[in-house]
Structure 1
Amino acid sequence: MTLKMDLSSILKCCRTGGGYIMAMSSDIIFYRYSPENMSEDILRKLFVGREKLLEDLVKEIGNAAENKTPRFYLVVGARGIGKSHFLTLLYYEIEHKFPSLLIPVKLAEEEYSIYRASDLFVRILEEYSKDTSDILSLEEEDEILHAAVEQLKLISRKDGKRFIIFVENLHELFKQLEKEELQKLRSIFQKNDIFSLVATAPLIFPSLSEHDEPFYNFFHIQHLKEFSYHEIRELMQKIAEIENGEGFLEKLEQYEERIHGMVHLTGGSPRLVFLFYDMIIGGEIENIEKAFFKIIDEHTPFFQEIFQMLTGQQRLIFDVLISFGETATPKQISEKSRIKLQSVNTQLRRLEIDGYVISRPMGRHTKYEVRERLFRIWREMRQPFGRKRVSIMLDFLQLWYTTEELKELFKIKFELLEAGEKSVLKELCYYAEIQPPEFKAEALLKLTPKLIYFGELEEAVYEITKLKETAAQTKDKELENKIPLYEGQIFLYEKKFEEALEAFNMTLEENPRHEDALFNKGLALGNLGKYEEALDVFNMVLEINPK
């Protein structure tokens, strides 16, 4: 078992432009955030789980093109779910199968220069390699818009084809356009049947969901679902085949149960598949949780944007639902949020239509859950560290590490702490929490005095509570007698000297020559102004340990 590893060797990735490049040992590079930079052949080999949806969309678009009718689709899915991969393959399919009917135009993933309706149609002409200088020389904005659309209509009539536009991150594009420009855009789409559009977005955003918005009810929505465990397994196998990963299947069997649990915990994000793959290939275990939580942290802007798009009441309901961890009924949400049940039901239905939550009929009741499970993990990560442990972190550690690995990790981290590496304190608290019963008390007894020494009193109190629980469960009298010493030390920090004195006396009742208890008792007596008694106690300490 190898325990030494840094983050870069887990991910084997470097930061570039729009995302991460994941370099493999073969000559192939996997672009985790920019799949359009990968070859069509590799994209097809890595495509799993969405074959039927792709086939259906291609068929629908082809039929519409033959009937000369436009189509407008929005593919919705969480960040990292594979929208870019899906859209890029759809583009290739249309390009190959309907060259006599459609002109596919794929815009860049980020189109920052489009903030008017005219900009979009000028960009389409540019992608079609048409000179737009005459159009852009016009003075009036409406003239530019009209000229660009007329030029595209001319191309369509001449070639006997219609345009199909592929747009990523439609929510970002629409955010750049004023409402008046969006109205112009919809009007052109409605009056001219030469345009179809397939777009992606991480969620249904206000420009599409609000009744008074130009594009309300305009798109046919297609949701990309998370991968199942079997689809994740299939994707990892395909990565191994492309990379010529020797012995991967043998290693996969060793980790299969762990990955199955992780999929249940996190959902089936394709982006996490690369992390799982690296874990298995590397065969190393330390710092894996850092790599995992780094990926979750990268979702912060996206998750924050989700909250910003919701109304105040929707935010509260959504946040309360996240706090349940699993599913919850409208009644449970109503009670916890203190919002009337009728309002909760109305908002939950709206949130489900917009793709934020999923309803699950269970007997006579309907329960709801957040569509993306990574959201819950991220939300817990945003809580302050202290007595509120991130339960998802504990779940992760218990799912991924064996009992022996957890014991070894605690040992390694504790050695670092003793060497002066205070930064490992937080990790040690997590590792201590999930140690097997036979080792947990020992781990807590080592960690608690260190927390007190470093002034992490809130954490120390938390660990003392866990020690008390462990002592009660195991009926361990010896363990129970060790706890007052730590309580007394905390009282000293808090300047509660009478309580500290009482705690140290409890320890000394069991062991009158306990050096630490005597020394701390002397400190408590001195702070209470009982100097002669304190001096007697310090002399006893010197008798026990003259050094």
Structure 2
Amino acid sequence: MALVSHFTPSLMAPEALEAILVQRHALLDDLVERVDASAAGDAKTHTLLVGQRGMGKTHLITMLYHRVRQQPGLDRHLRIAWLKEDEWGVDSYLALLLAILAALDHEYPGLIDAQRRADLFEHGAADAEGLAERLLLDALGECTLLLLAENLDQLFDGFGEPGQQRLRALVQNSRRVCIVASTPALFAGVSNHKLPFYGFFRTQHLRGLSVDEAGELLSRIAQLHGDTALVAALASPAGRARLRALHHLAGGNARLYVVFSQFVTADNIDTLALPFMRTLDELTPYYQARMQALSLQQRKIVEYLADARGARPVKDIAKATFISSQTVSAQLKRLSEAGFVRSEKSGRESFYEIEDVLLRFCLDVTKRCSGRIGQVVELLTAWFAQPTESQALLEALLAASGVDSRVAGDHGALLLLPQEIRSLFPHGGT
């Protein structure tokens, strides 16, 4: 059975990556053309892929790598340095150069002069930086360097503005570097007009999968595994209803459907709660790691919003967490930039809630609240199968939330409901 990786598409065979590609065929073709044109001339096109975690950025970069490597004759004009997804040790421009040299040495054994590379460590950082840059350019010769870099926001944070200035100078002066990078969200290093890389990248925002595209992804994975029964089940009216329920609950996050594909079968798709709960169990360590990367105050705010389930104003968050409103506002801004929360205005007040509903559900799992999740899954499955029969369950959930069903016409009150319930009302979604 072909490997379908949840978090590391680079482990997958190129054929498997191609087999499960949905939505992004035209974009991938365009990226290959940009790289081809950059390798052929002095003008370089630099691309930044922007999309939340799980949207398929690594999958796309991995496919770009394989497509470019398979281009006939391109090796005569191009060298690829594919950095690790998380280059934890890059804390300076010199460290970035060393990472690039290591990536080139891995990809093209013998390309980098081993003695000159070893000698770099006999010098101080300032001298080693110039020597490393010279070694890189000598190794490239007349070829263009395709630099593939994920989590560019973290790299820029690591080597700071001085490192960014030196990298920009290398790219501009050598005319031998083409960058394709990714980031979960736009960040100051590319959006602040005072910084070196402002306006530098051609930005591509990756959208989530539609219901049809999510269904196509699940079907493609089932076909890859030879599961014709699941392919047929997904195409049935009942399968379509359950897919709509899952999409309503989890949105267009591609990773969710890849993980879900591991647990869904033709036999259990009718009981959506079981494969969904197993999917959450699989994703929980990932979301726990994301929470651990936050400051204590940020964790406290996220946990409160997860427990609150609906959107809340700053004053409520401050009161519940014993953090000043000013500090809460500052932390919410950072959490919003990092993709943890989103906001919506009601009148003059902003309401905040968890951006990724899967994070909230995974936190529920760790608090032994799986029964509540199952209830929501039941509601949505019934709603999309036969909407009229789910009204009673919807009203029961509203009552359990302490909100009268008449809030359907009150936007401010609707914001207090969980997003997956709120959006069932006309104009209730965000």
TM over 0.5: yes
1:227 equivalent in structure 2 = 209
Residue 224 (structure 2) pairs with residue 266 (structure 1): no
In 2: Cα distance, 1:325 partner to 1:213 partner? 38
Matches within 5 A, 1:175-324: 176-177=158-159, 180-204=162-186, 218-252=200-234, 253=236, 254-281=238-265, 283-284=267-268, 287-301=274-288, 303-304=290-291, 307-308=294-295
Cα drift, residue 179 of structure 1: 5.7
Q: Assess if the C-alpha contact under 8 Å between 1:79 and 1:302 holds in 2.
A: no
2:21 equivalent in structure 1 = 47
Cα drift, residue 147 of structure 1: 2.7
The alignment partner of 1:52 has SS state of helix
The alignment partner of 2:44 has SS state of coil
Tell me which moved more, 72-81 or 368-377. 368-377
Q: From the CA coordinates, give the structure whose radius of gyration is larger.
A: 1
Structure with the greater relative contact order (CA < 8 A, sep ≥ 6): 1 or 2?
Answer: 2
In 1: Cα distance, 2:157 partner to 2:202 partner? 20
Cα drift, residue 348 of structure 1: 8.7
Matches within 5 A, 1:286-435: 287-301=274-288, 303-304=290-291, 307-308=294-295, 333=313, 336-337=316-317, 371-378=355-362, 380-381=364-365, 391-399=372-380
Cα drift, residue 243 of structure 1: 1.8
Q: What runs of 5+ residues in structure 1 fail to find an aligned partner? A: 1-25, 403-433, 441-464, 467-547
The alignment partner of 1:184 has SS state of helix
2:79 to 103, 106, 112: 103
In 2: Cα distance, 1:123 partner to 1:199 partner? 18
What is the CA deviation profile of residues 493-517 of structure 1, one whole-angstrom value per residue up to 9, with x for unaligned ones?
Answer: xxxxxxxxxxxxxxxxxxxxxxxxx
Q: Which amino acid aligns with 2:223?
A: E
Matches within 5 A, 1:83-122: 83-97=57-71, 99=74, 100-112=76-88, 114-115=90-91, 116-122=95-101
What is the CA deviation profile of residues 338-394 of structure 1, one whole-angstrom value per residue up to 9, with x for unaligned ones?
Answer: 799999999999987776667899999999876533234345556x568xx985453
In 2: Cα distance, 1:306 partner to 1:220 partner? 29
Q: Assess if the C-alpha contact under 8 Å between 1:58 and 1:93 holds in 2.
A: yes
What is the CA deviation profile of residues 272-317 of structure 1, one whole-angstrom value per residue up to 9, with x for unaligned ones?
Answer: 22344344426245853541221341232454267549x97x996x
1:144 equivalent in structure 2 = 128
Q: What runs of 5+ residues in structure 2 fail to find an aligned partner? A: 384-389, 401-430
Q: Which amino acid aligns with 2:108?
A: Y
In 2: Cα distance, 1:240 partner to 1:190 partner? 46
Cα drift, residue 41 of structure 1: 1.6
Q: Which amino acid aligns with 1:374?
A: L
Cα drift, residue 232 of structure 1: 1.2
Cα drift, residue 228 of structure 1: 1.2
In 2: Cα distance, 1:359 partner to 1:269 partner? 20
The alignment yields a C-alpha RMSD, in angstroms, of 4.6
1:133 equivalent in structure 2 = 115
Change in Cα spacing, 1:251 to 1:385, as seen in structure 2 (3 Å) is closer
Instruction: Work out the percentage of aligned pairs sharing the same amino acid.
Output: 25
Q: Assess if the C-alpha contact under 8 Å between 1:118 and 1:144 holds in 2.
A: no
In 1: Cα distance, 2:289 partner to 2:196 partner? 24
Q: Assess if the C-alpha contact under 8 Å between 1:321 and 1:333 holds in 2.
A: no
In 2: Cα distance, 1:213 partner to 1:39 partner? 39
Cα drift, residue 241 of structure 1: 2.0
- For this pair of structures, how many residues does the alignment match? 370
Q: Assess if the C-alpha contact under 8 Å between 2:150 and 2:181 holds in 1.
A: yes
In 2: Cα distance, 1:247 partner to 1:264 partner? 24
In 2: Cα distance, 1:308 partner to 1:364 partner? 29
Q: Assess if the C-alpha contact under 8 Å between 1:35 and 1:85 holds in 2.
A: yes
Cα drift, residue 244 of structure 1: 1.7
1:17 equivalent in structure 2 = none
The alignment partner of 1:232 has SS state of helix
Change in Cα spacing, 1:240 to 1:190, as seen in structure 2 (3 Å) is same
TM-score between both structures, scaled by the size of structure 1:
0.55
Change in Cα spacing, 1:306 to 1:266, as seen in structure 2 (3 Å) is farther
The alignment partner of 2:208 has SS state of coil
Change in Cα spacing, 1:211 to 1:392, as seen in structure 2 (3 Å) is farther
Change in Cα spacing, 1:276 to 1:361, as seen in structure 2 (3 Å) is same
1:530 equivalent in structure 2 = none
In 2: Cα distance, 1:363 partner to 1:90 partner? 46
Q: Assess if the C-alpha contact under 8 Å between 1:227 and 1:268 holds in 2.
A: yes
Q: Assess if the C-alpha contact under 8 Å between 1:259 and 1:276 holds in 2.
A: no
1:10 equivalent in structure 2 = none
